[in-house]
Amino acid sequence: MTIHPMKPERFFLEKFGLTERHLERGLGAALGAQIDDADLYFEYRISESMLLEEGIIKQATKNINQGVGVRALAHEKTGYAFSDEISVENLELAGSRAKGIAERAGVGTPPPVKVGGMPRHNLYPVHSQPVEIALEKKIDLLQRIDAIARQADPRIVQVMASFACESKIVMIATSAGVMVSDIQPLSRLSVTCIAQDGTNRQIGSWGGGGRADFEFFLEGDRFEHYAKEAVRLAIMNLSAADAPAGTMDVVLGPGWPGILLHEAIGHGLEGDFNRKKTSAFSDRIGQRVASELVTVVDDGTIPGRRGSLNVDDEGTPTSRTVLIERGILRGYLQDRLNARLMGMEPTGNGRRESYAHQPLPRMTNTFMLAGDSTPDEIIGSVKSGLYAVTFGGGQVDITSGKFVFSASEAYLIEDGKITRPVKGATLIGHGPEVLTRVNMVGNDLKLDEGVGTCGKDGQSVPVGVGLPTIKIEGLTVGGTQGMPKGGRDQ
């Protein structure tokens, strides 16, 4: 697949025999006196993945998916129809079906249907799409990782390495007169190692990725770093003791522990929950919701990051949105629908899993800004507590704000020093409350390696998180009884 990097819309227009007039007809079929807004979302995605286990490729897949989704909006109602066959006839059929679902009583004036261009970012100017790289190079990379991990320690008895990538071409046309297109690369390399010492078997995982080409993983031997980190975690867990339970001071390390922000407050700041007033943060703009040390942003414009996009899945350019500024709630993450109904501006956070899904307000890259303390000062301030460095999955109850997630790498802090590794630590808290307990923020902001996937309403999208080292007073550490239900992420 070779596509002109600056004109991906030509791909759809030429491949499927479409013209701008055909797009207008599709939009016209979705519009009517009772419809406020409509859009078309075209997608062509090539994806592949491979898994190496026991030194051989056990799984390898390659898929091509294509389709178009048509949405019609009537006040709060959404009509959505899609087809995996892109044609003028199906555009008009899907448009009329979407309109029929969304139509409501009342008379309005439909927006103009004319399509045209709009400026956008250029956040991932890759030299070649990751799916265009020869299969042999990817297999060789996985085999090198397997060899590095096994040579690192004789207690490593199993290595699983996987590489997944995709190139997604999208085009969005809206009834407001916007037509925008994008080519979105995405790749991820993951390593899992199993270590064994007698009957004690433990696991360690690491990985990374982003909207980058294949060379990203070779730069500075990044793939070797992933392998050695997976080995280190597996070996560490062989000697880790069970984590203590109770209320204690917790220090979160930089980077991936930003999943706490994602779970504790990120979902609760998405526009749909706040418009429906089902979030713990509803109607709280301008109020204090966190310590004055806490400033949180969502930024979809960071070059090459997993959660970044040139435009969101509604055609709105992504942006840097300040959510919390020195503890004060400043705004929500908005798509077009919820922004219109709430009288706010879209923030470029309308995202969808594929053409078969309607967009929802979702996070991109969400992180806390750095503070003034050094990591050593933060650790040294804790008499007895937990230092959590890496986390597994988590979940949140949007309405109550309660969250829970598990630490996959954690240590005890004793007399201001990091001591023994522990396993099985689970952090439980209440989002709006836990951020008020942040009393030290480090100067070492770090974004995660590029592995996050966020789930909401059955849809999964790639995201990023980040955090400097922070100290939280009096967080509950322990088991998983009474786990709240909500959006799951990993």
Inter-residue contact 465 to 454 (CB < 8 Å): no
Query: Is pLDDT above 60 for 396?
Result: yes
Sign of the Cα pseudo-torsion (345, 349, 353, 354, in order): positive
Could you tell me the two tokens for 372?
């003034």
Query: Is pLDDT above 90 for 484?
Result: no
Dist. CA 340–CA 319, nearest whole Å: 17
Dist. CA 179–CA 26, nearest whole Å: 13
**Residue 111: its pLDDT value, please?**
52
pLDDT band at 269 (very low <50, low <70, confident <90, very high): very high
Lowest model confidence (mean pLDDT) among 110-124, 357-371, 409-423: 110-124
Share of the chain above pLDDT 90, in %: 80
**Residue 104: its pLDDT value, please?**
60
pLDDT in tens, 16-61: 899 889 999 999 999 988 898 999 999 999 999 999 999 999 999 9
**Residue 13: its pLDDT value, please?**
84
* Comparison of pLDDT for 467 and 104, the residue scoring more: 467
**Residue 345: its pLDDT value, please?**
94
Dist. CA 352–CA 366, nearest whole Å: 17
pLDDT in tens, 323-371: 999 999 999 999 999 999 999 999 999 999 999 999 999 999 999 999 9
Rounded mean pLDDT, 437-446: 97
> Where in 84-178 does DSSP place strands (E)?
156-174
10 Å CB burial of residue 306 (0-12, 13-18, 19+) is buried
Phi, psi of 273 (to 5 degrees): -65, -35
Could you tell me the two tokens for 128?
């070649």
Q: Which helix (H) or strand (E) is 11 found in, with range?
A: helix 9-15
Q: Coil, strand, or helix at residue 59?
A: strand
Lowest model confidence (mean pLDDT) among 291-300, 420-429, 465-474: 420-429
Dist. CA 122–CA 126, nearest whole Å: 10
Query: Letter for the amino acid at 296?
Result: V
Average pLDDT taken over every residue of the chain? 91
Rounded mean pLDDT, 147-172: 97
Rounded mean pLDDT, 91-96: 94
Inter-residue contact 265 to 353 (CB < 8 Å): no
pLDDT band at 118 (very low <50, low <70, confident <90, very high): low
Torsion of CA 225, 230, 235, 236, to 10 degrees: 90
Query: Is pLDDT above 70 for 483?
Result: no
Of 82, 38, 312, 78, the residue nearest 174 (C-alpha): 38
Could you tell me the two tokens for 296?
């949180």
Residues in the chain: 490
Where in the chain do CATH 3.30.2290.10 domains reside?
9-238
Dist. CA 281–CA 402, nearest whole Å: 12
Dist. CA 232–CA 226, nearest whole Å: 10
Dist. CA 5–CA 183, nearest whole Å: 7
DSSP codes of every residue in 165-188:
EEEEEEEEEETTS-EEEEEEEEEE
Q: Coil, strand, or helix at residue 475?
A: strand
CATH fit for domain 9-238, picks 3.30.2290.10, 3.40.50.720, 2.60.120.10, 3.40.50.10490: 3.30.2290.10
**Residue 392: its pLDDT value, please?**
80
Rounded mean pLDDT, 455-483: 85
**Residue 9: its pLDDT value, please?**
77
**Residue 34: its pLDDT value, please?**
87
**Residue 481: its pLDDT value, please?**
31
Query: Letter for the amino acid at 55?
Result: G
